[in-house]
């Protein structure tokens, strides 16, 4: 029979010390003791985040060859490359928690791992690239700036550079929409149509409402999350409601209204059925996105094999 009491007592003491460290705003580093559930939560969140960056390259990648000018093409290319870099920093941060990248990628490809719902919508016009930059990267920044203060050191440090780049991404998206909004009637209509399609999915990106958010309470206690899903969503709605005025366009929410008493904009109901449907794999592009990722991985097998063979050769020489 196992004697568990001393282990539990020791673990309890370690957990108390751990929480005290977190409460004192000290960083937890890879070699520090951490509760197993903290490690698992971080692997879940960081890997979902990494997958989102990598899958997030696909909707925009769709427009690289069709960008309307050389300058637009260069900017979009740089942005998509940034997303690849973000995915790599984040996979590296997840690996510090003792999980292999192969396993994380296998979980994405088998459909077991989640990635952000937003990347399962199609990009059907050039204005969608503007809407993604402004709305999707705008939502991503609001969610990610607080992660620069995450209790886990490698994740927090990775987020600093990511947030700087995301902020450039948001501006370039806004600038695309501003150019279209000031253009011909057809260009204005294209910008409005893109905003109509991307606005609600971006509002949903922050995750389920606080009452339904399974992980928020614990993640906030561990200072992985600093704000709740609804708090960040409200900031986003408030920010967009003001910025849209500059574009002279509208968001597709007839209930959006300034509430002086709350000091925030009120907004209409979110279609949670649509959100969960997309999260469960039934959005407009889920299957296409995974198929494309799996194909890219298989086509890149020779690069991984060549790199491993070179590393083996170098090690043998040494
Ligand atoms: N899409 C898909 N799944 C989502 C989701 C979304 N938008 N929002 C929540 N979920 C999932 C959660 O992953 C969780 O599922 P799980 O238990 O199987 O892991 C479930 O819904 C319940 O949600 P919770 O609120 O309890 O989950 P979290 O506490 O993890 O909060 C989160 C969700 C706010 C997305 C949080 O994980 C987070 O802040 N993650 C880091 C940032 C991130 O991953 N952003 C994704 C977009 S990255 C991006 O946009 C790239 C850019 O370049 C544009």
Query: From the alpha carbon of 279, which atom of ligand 1 is closest?
Result: 2
Backbone torsions φ then ψ of 48, nearest 5 degrees: -60, -40
Residues β-bridged to residue 264: 259
Backbone torsions φ then ψ of 265, nearest 5 degrees: -80, 135
Token pair listed for 259: 């509430």
Confidence at residue 2, expressed as pLDDT on a 0 to 100 scale: 47
Q: Look over the chain and give the mean of its residue pLDDT values, rounded to a whole number.
A: 96
pLDDT tens digits, 235-286: 999 999 999 999 999 999 999 999 999 999 999 999 999 999 999 999 999 9
- Pocket flag, ligand 1, residue 130 (CB < 6 Å): no
Query: From the alpha carbon of 41, which atom of ligand 1 is closest?
Result: 30
For the segment 173-189, the average pLDDT, to the nearest whole number, is 98
Q: How confident is the model at residue 151 (pLDDT cuts 50, 70, 90)?
A: very high
* 16 CB-near residues (< 8 Å, 6+ apart): none
Q: For residue 183, how far is its CA from the centre of ligand 1 (angstroms)?
A: 36
- Is the pLDDT score of 4 beyond 60? no
- Is the pLDDT score of 59 beyond 90? yes
Q: How confident is the model at residue 5 (pLDDT cuts 50, 70, 90)?
A: low
Shortest-distance Cα residue to atom 45 of ligand 1? 49
| Full-model pTM | 0.95
Query: From the alpha carbon of 205, which atom of ligand 1 is closest?
Result: 7
For the segment 69-97, the average pLDDT, to the nearest whole number, is 97
pLDDT tens digits, 220-232: 999 999 999 999 9
Which run of H or E residues covers position 58?
A: helix 57-61
For the segment 181-193, the average pLDDT, to the nearest whole number, is 98
- Pocket flag, ligand 1, residue 143 (CB < 6 Å): yes
Shortest-distance Cα residue to atom 41 of ligand 1? 49
Confidence at residue 6, expressed as pLDDT on a 0 to 100 scale: 53
Q: For residue 14, how far is its CA from the centre of ligand 1 (angstroms)?
A: 29
34 vs 282: CA distance, rounded Å: 36
- Is the pLDDT score of 298 beyond 90? yes
Confidence at residue 9, expressed as pLDDT on a 0 to 100 scale: 86
- Pocket flag, ligand 1, residue 53 (CB < 6 Å): yes
Q: How confident is the model at residue 184 (pLDDT cuts 50, 70, 90)?
A: very high
Q: For residue 304, how far is its CA from the centre of ligand 1 (angstroms)?
A: 29
């Amino acid at each position: 029979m196992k004697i568990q009491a001393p282990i539990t007592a020791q673990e309890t003491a370690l957990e108390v010390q751990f929480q005290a460290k977190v409460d004192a705003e000290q960083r937890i580093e890879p070699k520090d003791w951490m509760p197993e559930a903290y490690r698992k939560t971080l692997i879940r969140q960081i890997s979902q985040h990494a997958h989102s960056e990598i899958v997030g390259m696909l909707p925009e990648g769709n427009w690289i060859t069709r960008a309307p000018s050389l300058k637009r093409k260069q900017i979009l290319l740089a942005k998509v490359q940034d997303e690849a870099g973000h995915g790599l920093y984040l996979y590296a941060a997840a690996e510090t928690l003792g999980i292999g990248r192969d396993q994380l990628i296998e979980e994405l490809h088998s459909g077991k791992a989640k990635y952000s719902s937003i990347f399962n919508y199609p990009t059907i016009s050039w204005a969608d690239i503007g809407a993604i930059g402004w709305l999707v990267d705008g939502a991503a920044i609001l969610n990610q700036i607080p992660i620069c203060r995450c209790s886990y050191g490698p994740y927090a440090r990775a987020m600093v550079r990511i947030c700087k780049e995301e902020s450039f991404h948001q501006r370039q998206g806004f600038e695309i929409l501003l150019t279209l909004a000031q253009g011909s009637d057809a260009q204005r209509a294209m910008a409005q149509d893109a905003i109509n399609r991307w606005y609600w999915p971006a509002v949903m990106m922050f995750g389920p409402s606080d009452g339904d958010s399974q992980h928020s309470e614990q993640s906030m206690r561990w200072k992985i999350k600093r704000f709740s899903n609804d708090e960040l969503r409200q900031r986003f709605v408030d920010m967009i409601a003001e910025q849209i005025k500059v574009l002279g366009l509208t968001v597709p929410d007839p209930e959006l209204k300034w509430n002086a008493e709350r000091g925030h904009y009120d907004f209409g109901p979110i279609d949670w059925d649509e959100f969960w449907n997309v999260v469960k794999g039934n959005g407009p592009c889920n299957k296409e996105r995974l198929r494309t990722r799996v194909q890219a991985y298989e086509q890149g097998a020779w690069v991984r094999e060549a790199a491993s063979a070179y590393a083996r050769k170098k090690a043998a020489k040494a």
